[in-house]
């Protein structure tokens, strides 16, 4: 009886291992990006950034890139070792023929060819904070929220700094107000200064 139990238990473990392995294989197959699609996506980015900038600063994220019928959702990372604040996603979709689907949006891809300054990120976080202070952005009642982010309106990366001038929590949730400032990381120019509120 004991031998029968051991045989049954061994078969159960083997079945579980095979099932998990096959499941893992299927996941890898589903997330795999065909070489021709990858080349098309790479070339699309290069058409904006140039090959040197691409090779040095941009890498595909195979884990996040995937096929979601009927398109391939491509995810890349823009990062610079000497500028750790630059670590942002580039996201766009490609059809099964390798054509970029423009109307699905393109996020995080700077145009270094036509706007070289848009790919020169000279201002670091400390300098961006100092620029905001000099421009008159108040400290407020909370710590500033600071991020190096892609701005869709300006089609470029910006330093985005948000302060909070009033804040309260009640039965209706958070209410507050403040200001946001956007700074060009190339030259430190102020791109926008806006007010925000949650009522």
Chain segment 62-85, per-residue pLDDT in tens: 999 999 999 999 999 999 999 999
Q: Is residue 57 part of a domain?
A: yes
Q: Is residue 174 part of a domain?
A: yes
Domain termination residue (choose one: 118, 135, 157)? 118
Angular region, 84: left φ>0, alpha ψ -120 to 50, beta rest: alpha
Q: Is residue 27 part of a domain?
A: no
Domain termination residue (choose one: 65, 91, 118)? 118
Q: Is residue 19 part of a domain?
A: no
Q: How much is the average pLDDT of 106-112?
A: 98
Shared-domain flag, residues 138 and 157: yes
Q: Is residue 30 part of a domain?
A: no
Q: How much is the average pLDDT of 114-143?
A: 97
Domain with residue 166: its CATH number is: 3.10.450
More confident call, 38 vs 172: 38
User: What pTM does this model have?
Assistant: 0.81
Domains in the chain, number: 2
Q: What is the mean pLDDT of the chain?
A: 89
Shared-domain flag, residues 66 and 100: yes
Q: What pLDDT score was predicted for residue 72?
A: 98
CA–CA dist 122, 137 (Å, integer): 21
Domain residues for 189?
125-198
Residue 43 has pLDDT above 80, yes or no: yes
Residue 134 has pLDDT above 50, yes or no: yes
Shared-domain flag, residues 82 and 103: yes
CB atoms within 10 A of CB 199: 6
Lowest mean pLDDT among 14-18, 157-161, 171-175: 14-18
Q: How much is the average pLDDT of 119-140?
A: 98
Q: Is residue 51 part of a domain?
A: yes
Shared-domain flag, residues 141 and 168: yes
Q: Is residue 94 part of a domain?
A: yes
Q: Is residue 14 part of a domain?
A: no
Domain termination residue (choose one: 90, 118, 146)? 118
Q: What pLDDT score was predicted for residue 31?
A: 53
Shared-domain flag, residues 47 and 89: yes
Shared-domain flag, residues 134 and 187: yes
Confidence of residue 13 (pLDDT cuts 50, 70, 90): very low
Residue 9 has pLDDT above 90, yes or no: no
């Amino acid at each position: 009886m004991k031998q029968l139990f051991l045989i049954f238990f061994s078969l159960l473990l083997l079945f579980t291992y095979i099932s998990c392995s096959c499941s893992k294989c299927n996941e890898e197959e589903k997330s795999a990006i065909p070489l021709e699609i990858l080349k098309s996506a790479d070339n699309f980015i290069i058409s904006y950034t140039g090959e040197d900038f691409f090779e040095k600063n941009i890498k595909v994220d195979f884990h996040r890139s995937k096929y979601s019928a009927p398109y391939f959702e491509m995810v890349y990372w823009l990062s610079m070792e000497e500028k750790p604040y630059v670590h942002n996603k580039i996201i766009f979709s490609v059809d099964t023929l390798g054509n970029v689907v423009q109307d699905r949006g393109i996020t995080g891809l700077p145009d270094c060819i036509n706007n070289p300054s848009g790919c020169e990120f000279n201002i670091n976080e400390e300098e961006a904070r100092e620029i905001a202070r000099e421009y008159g952005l108040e400290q407020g009642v909370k710590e500033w929220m600071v991020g190096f982010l892609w701005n869709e309106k300006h089609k470029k990366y910006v330093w985005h700094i948000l302060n909070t001038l009033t804040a309260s929590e009640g039965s209706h949730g958070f209410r507050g107000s403040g200001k946001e400032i956007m700074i060009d990381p190339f030259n430190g120019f102020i791109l926008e200064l806006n007010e925000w509120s949650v009522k």
